[in-house]
Amino acid sequence: MNLSANRLTIFGLGYVGLPLALIYAVKGYPVYGVDISAELVRDLRAGITGHLESYRGRPIRDVLGECLSSGSFIPTSHPDQVWAASSNFIVTVGMPVKGDRPDFAPLERVCRTISRGLKKGDTVMIRSTVVPGTTEEIVLPILENSGLKGGEDFSLIYCPERISEGKAFDELENIPVLISGIDQRSMEQGTKIIKMISRVDPVPVSRIKTAETAKVVENIQRDVNIALMQQVSEFCAKLGIDVCELMKGANTHPRVHLLQPGPGVGGYCIPNALHYLAPKASETGTDISLLTLSRQINREVPKKIAGKIKLYFRDKRQSGTPSKLAVLGIAMKDYCSDDRDSPIVHIIEDLTGSGMVVSAYDNWVGTNYPFQEKDLHLCLLKADGLLIGALQRDVNYQQFKLFKSLMRENPVIFDTKGVINKSEAEKYGFEVIDL
């Protein structure tokens, strides 16, 4: 395999696919990026992306612009143009969950597209998180509809991504990934592709199904850990204990790694993980009630927080006008632009559905919500309360003098992140409530 002799093609240019395509491109391996969204492709060709990534100090927009100018990255929504120039195909298209059931359609559609152009000697690598068994039971048969035989005529690899949004480039280079293939040649081909961008060797796994399950379990263990800490946090609040201090102390133990509780668990990866495991658990009659309970606990957190806010204003604010709540940060987690399944958005929707006025500030999230305000001052103006949601780097959360000058009398801060200097805020007349 000579990657320098032809372009890699990456299918899916989202939060995984775009950084992956660009890191190959900056390392000297030309890339086609294919995405079904013509609008996304137009934006990328114009050098526009809302991703909050940086590569060795350079913002992703700069990296994108350089790769476009050099021709090392070509985004397209027309896959038929890539077949002749490419023999290595990487799939990053996700598996959405609808009604708690995984939707195989996007992955199946991409595999059917690849099967139309698949040639002898080609390599296909799946980097998506999938239901265990998907690569061999669904992907392989679709690719073999090309008339070619997997393991004889083409290589097939499963190598799940492990990146966190905001750290994608660094983690693509420095975190070891699991890799498995349908035969030894596939493993060798896949290892070469990974080592083109990674400083560390991939971790070989004997069976594809093992690698698929390991990736799902990696996500589920975080769901379970956070659910544990959500309940510990409630216990601490009733006992008058600082949960952040508790975590800091407990995590000094070398075999303890507690994750921080918060307003809920959002995004694409962790909330979906249980639903990738559930079909096979049902098929095999395996009890996964602990995992199901953990997902339920985390899913209910936004509703609980909204309930506490509504109760506060009902008890404390007896005026006839609806209370106004300002919200800082609506992304699904700190320091990112992704708002998929954002717990903060769920909280806001619950509050507005109950008649509360909500104004939210987050200039990194591209979705245009009716409650969104592009100006921080207008967001805070005449607000009765302030909810600290997802953290963003362009906000100073300790500027209490500014907050107080814009908000109404006797304001309250609801802190879901433990970032507010409570004693300092109280000097300016704020009541601070940890959620």
* Domain at 300-434, CATH from 3.40.50.720, 1.10.490.10, 3.55.50.30, 3.40.50.1370: 3.40.50.720
**Which amino acid makes up residue 358?**
V
Task: Report domain 7-206's class.
Answer: alpha beta
214-295 is a CATH 1.10.3720.10 domain: no
Residue 2 pLDDT grade (very low, low, confident, very high; cuts 50, 70, 90) = very low
H-helix or E-strand spanning residue 204: strand 203-204
Q: Quote the mean pLDDT of the chain.
A: 94
Catalytic position from the list 67, 159, 269, 336: 269
Alpha carbon distances (Å) from 304 to 208, 236, 298, 299, 350: 40, 16, 10, 10, 10
Terminal C-alpha separation, the chain: 54
399 vs 7: CA distance, rounded Å = 50
b (16+ CB within 10 A) / e for 321-331: ebbbbbbbbbb
Q: Helix, strand, or coil here: 46?
A: coil
Our answer to whether residue 236 is catalytic in this structure is no
pLDDT at 6: 75
**Domain positions in the chain:** 7-206, 214-295, 300-434
pLDDT digit string, tens, across residues 107-165: 999 999 999 999 999 999 999 999 999 999 999 999 999 999 999 999 999 999 999 98
- Residues 160-193 have pLDDT tens digits of 999 998 899 999 999 999 999 999 999 999 999 9
Matching fold, domains 214-295 and 300-434: no
Check residue 307 and give its pLDDT.
Answer: 94
Can you say whether the dihedral through the CA atoms of 138, 142, 143, 144 is positive or negative?
Answer: positive
Instruction: With cut-offs at 50, 70 and 90, classify the pLDDT of residue 4.
Output: very low
What is the pTM for the complete model shown?
0.91
What's the longest Cα–Cα distance across the chain? 75
What's the pLDDT score for residue 144? 98
